[in-house]
Amino acid sequence: MKDIVLTFGALYGGLAVIFGAFGAHALKKRMNEELLKSFETGVKYQMYHALALLLVSVLLPFENGLQNAVAWCFILGTFLFSFSIYGLCLTSMQGNKWRFLGPITPLGGLLLVTGWLLLVFSV
């Protein structure tokens, strides 16, 4: 499990840098301020949770289901939260907003909060 968590932490961290640069350079002129701010929120939360995954991969022994659940909540929550925001922003920018992504964002956020709460109970 440690390898999976470390891999996702590194992957999400690297992608956050790429998406952040993409937003700052390629999208800055094409998105309005509100969309750009939302996009940046997705990037920030992705990076925060990439770092959390890296720390969790080092600090937790993954000896029980609760510790595994922390990691999976962070992995899935980050994907659902940040990537749904990216999708909403990019499709809104093109005038064809994918509204089905709207409910996915809070589900991802709920998983992130759940991961943090489970982390409290696992230590």
Residues 70, 75, 81, 84: what is their CA dihedral angle, to the nearest 10 degrees?
Answer: -160
Q: In Å, how far are 36, 48, 54, 94 from 11, measured between CA atoms?
A: 22, 13, 10, 27
For the segment 37-61, what is each residue's pLDDT rounded down to a tens digit?
Answer: 999 999 999 999 999 999 999 999 9
pLDDT band, residue 97 (cuts 50/70/90): confident
Angle between helix 104-122 and helix 33-59 axes, rounded to 10 deg: 30
Tokens of 30: 């094409």
State the pLDDT at residue 46. 98
Q: Is residue 95 predicted with pLDDT exceeding 90?
A: no
pLDDT level of residue 16 (50, 70, 90 thresholds)? very high
pTM value is 0.93
| Percent of the chain whose predicted confidence (pLDDT) is above 70 | 100
CA dihedral 88, 9, 106, 29 (to 10 degrees): -30
